[in-house]
Amino acid sequence: MPRLIGAAQTVSSQSEQITTFNSSGTLTTQPLTAQIEYLVVAGGAGGGSRFGGGGGAGGLKTNVGGTPTPVSGGTGYAVTIGAGGAGGVATGGSYTGGAGNGTNGSNSVLAAGSITATGGGGGGAGDSEDGLSGGSGGGGAGRFATSGGSASPSGQGNAGGAGSGTPLGGDVFRGAGGGGAGGAGSASTGTDNTANGAGGVGLANSITGSSVFYAGGGGGAGGASAQSTNSAGGNGGGGDGSCTGATTGSNGTANKGGGGGGGAYIAPSNQVAKSGGSGVVIIKEPATKAASSCWDLRQVYRQVKTDDWV
C-alpha cells in the first residue's frame, strides 16, 4: 500500500497589507514579509513673500513598478514624516527688507532600505531672491530676474521656475512656480493667466490601488496690485500663489508634500506666504504563502517510480 514519506507540510499565508504613515511611527512587518514596495514623500517648502516664488514640493522616492526592497519579517522599522516648511515672513515695511524666503521642508525617512526623501526648497522673496534648492526647487521672486532653485539631490523632483522680472503692465509682477515631482515650476512672464508662475505638476502613484498625485509645486505670487487670477499650484497638493488679493493663496496639502503658494505684495504691504504640506510614507507588503518544510525532489521521484508516494 502506498505510504507518505517526508515531513508533514504546514502552509501559512498572509494577506497583502498597505500601511500609510501620516505622522512618524514604526512599521512592524508581518511575519512572512520578505520584501516591500514603498512611496516616500518629504515635506513641501513654504513660498516666499513679496512677489514671492512658490515653494518646491517635497522630494519623492518610490520603487513601485521596480525592484522590491528586501526586509525581515516581524521586524520594526522607523518611519519619519517630514514637516512642511513655513511661508516667508513679511515684516519691516513694504520693501525687500520686509520679505523673507520660504523655509525648506523637512526630510521623510523609511529606515527599511535607508530611504530618504529630501524636503522641498523655499520660494524666493522680495524683489530679487532666487529660489532655494531641495527635493524640488523653489521658484524665484518676481520683480527682477531670478533663478529657480535646483532639485538636489537629483532624481526626486524638478527645479523651480525663473522669475523673469517682466511686468504685466506698469509696476505689476509675478513670482515663479516651485518645482514638482513630475515637472519644473513655470517661469513668471508678462502674461496674466494661471499658467504664469504655476507650480510644477506632481507624480501619480498607485501604491494604494488608486492613482493619486503627490508632490506638486506651489504657485508664485503677484504684486503690486491685485491681478485677475492666482498662479495655480501643481496637481499633487501644490498651493496657489497669492495674486488676486491679500487674503488669497493656499498652503500645500498635508500628507502630499505640496509646496506652499507665494505671498503677494498688495500695496502698501507685503503678505506672509503660505506653508508647505507635510510628507507621507506608504508601504505595501505583498500577499504570500510559506510551507513549514520542503520535499527532496530526488526522493520524490524515486518514491513515485516505486509507487510508494501519495
The answer to whether residues 13 and 67 touch, using CB atoms and an 8 Å cutoff, is no
How far is the C-alpha of 55 from the C-alpha of 125, rounded, in Å? Answer: 11
pLDDT band, very low/low/confident/very high, at 300 (cuts 50, 70, 90): low
pLDDT of residue 238: 98
Task: Give mean pLDDT, residues 44-63.
Answer: 97
Q: Where are the beta strands (DSSP E) in the chain?
A: 11-14, 17-21, 25-28, 35-41, 60-62, 69-70, 76-80, 108-110, 115-117, 173-174, 203-205, 212-214, 222-224, 265-266, 269-270, 280-285, 288-291
- Of 148-157, 262-271, 288-297, the one with minimum mean pLDDT is 288-297
Is a pLDDT exceeding 70 seen at residue 301?
Answer: no
Helix, strand, coil content of the chain in percent (nearest 5): 5, 25, 75
> d(Cα 227, Cα 215) in Å, to the nearest integer?
27
pLDDT score, position 2: 43
Distance CA 241, CA 55 (A): 9
Give residue 1's pLDDT. 41
pLDDT bracket for residue 194 (50, 70, 90): confident
Give the percent of the chain with pLDDT over 90: 75
The pLDDT of residue 113 is 86
For residues 63 and 97, the model is more confident at 63
Binned at pLDDT 50, 70 and 90, residue 63 comes out as very high
pLDDT band at 8 (very low <50, low <70, confident <90, very high): low
Taking residues 188-201, what's their average pLDDT? Answer: 92
Cβ proximity of 160 and 53 under 8 Å:
yes
Q: What is the mean pLDDT of the chain?
A: 91
d(CA 265, CA 287): 54
The mean pLDDT value for 20-42 works out to 97
Q: Are 264 and 242 in contact (CB under 8 A)?
A: yes
Give the 3-state secondary structure of residue 11: strand
How much of the chain exceeds pLDDT 70, in percent? 88
Tell me: pLDDT of 71 over 70: yes
Q: Can you read off the three cell numbers belonging to residue 86?
A: 513655513
Task: Report how far residue 109's alpha carbon sits from residue 181's, in angstroms, rounded to the nearest whole number.
Answer: 17
Instruction: Report yes or no on whether pTM surpasses 0.85.
Output: yes
Residue 113, Cβ neighbours under 10 Å: how many? 16
User: How confident is the model over 115-120, as a mean pLDDT?
Assistant: 98
How many alpha carbons fall within 13 Å on the CB side of residue 8? 1
Determine which of 80-84, 134-138, 193-197, 199-203 has the lowest per-residue pLDDT on average: 193-197
Confidence check: pLDDT of 242 > 80:
yes
pLDDT of 40 > 60? The answer is yes
Is the CB of residue 131 less than 8 Å from the CB of residue 175? no
Would you state the cell numbers that stand for residue 184, as one nine-digit string?
519644473
* Gap between the Cα atoms of 219 and 51, Å rounded: 11
Is the pLDDT higher at 76 or at 226?
Answer: 76
- Asked whether residue 148 carries a pLDDT value surpassing 60, the answer given is yes
pLDDT grade for 90, boundaries at 50, 70 and 90: confident
